[in-house]
Structure 1
Amino acid sequence: MLDPARPQQNALVAEQGGQLVGLVHYIFHAHNWRVEDVCYLQDLYVDPAARGTGAGRALIRAVCAAADATGTPSVHGLTQGGNLPVFNGVHP
């Protein structure tokens, strides 16, 4: 994620009140049925004390914005069922 020669691997962090409260890792990769790359949201973590504050949604939206900025038509990821409310409705 820190190697400029590998721009397909990325990370972002969330801050609240000057404190780091979350992070997300995402990867742009080829897709067998699309000409364009797609984006895999690989890891999303928000500190338990910051959950419910919108930090997770903000990180997901930031990944979607990065995908949009590169012309990547799709963001996908896997999550446990209890986390679905964070993912649903974040990106049209």
Structure 2
Amino acid sequence: MSSILVRAAQADDIDTIHGFILALAEYERLAHEVKADRDMLGRYLFGPRPMAEVLIAEADGSAVGFALFFHNFSTFEGRPGLYLEDLFVLPEARGRGAGKALLARLAALAIDRDCARLEWSVLDWNEPSIAFYRALGARAMDEWTVQRVDGQALVRLAALPS
């Protein structure tokens, strides 16, 4: 079994990142919702004002997983946090420690950056991932539900008088 190397993604990783996003969307049965393309990812991940960061997990020199994350802020804590938007490991690489290595690096980044917490969402049907997260000490925030405004609802909301 090879060791897992976790590194910060670079601009020349765009094709790899895009491939992981497509594979994740397929796994989550959401491939029809992917709008991200390479140009868009390049602009928002590596442009003049990056909006998110990516870690790449490698085994034997090949990318086997990724984590895309960004900072949020807790008003109650008065400190930043890290929000893990997506974590994905190729099916053939699962069980080799890549997911754990990505989460461990995110936890270390959160501590280094004086973040109060590391948070993410998981689909309620994804029992293998839920069990994996519980084994690492994650807890469900069952009293909270995710709310979203997008598409035309977002446009209508933005047009309301302020």
Instruction: Please give the TM-score of this superposition, normalised by the length of structure 1.
Output: 0.86
In the aligned structure 1, how far is the partner of 2:101 from the partner of 2:48? 25
Q: CA RMSD in A?
A: 1.9
* Higher mean C-alpha deviation, range 60-69 or range 78-87: 78-87
Structure with greater Cα Rg: 2
Cα 1:78/1:14, change in 2 over 3 Å: same
Bigger relative CO (Cα 8 Å, ≥ 6 apart): 1
Q: Percent identity?
A: 25
Q: Which has the higher helix share?
A: 2
Contact 1:56 / 1:86 at 8 angstroms: preserved in 2?
no
Gaps in structure 1 of 5+ consecutive residues:
none
Specify which of 128, 131, 155 is matched with residue 85 of structure 1. Answer: 131
Q: CA deviation at 1:4?
A: 5.5
- CA deviation vs aligned residue, 1:47-75 (integer Å, no higher than 9, x gap): 01001111001001111111111000200
Normalized per residue, the structure richer in strand is 1
Query: Structure 2 CA distance, aligned partners of 1:3 and 1:90?
Result: 33
Superposed, 1:2-17 pairs within 5 Å as 2-3=46-47, 5-6=49-50, 9-17=52-60
Q: TM-score, normalised by structure 2?
A: 0.51
* Structure 2: stretches of 5+ with no match in the other structure: 1-44, 139-162
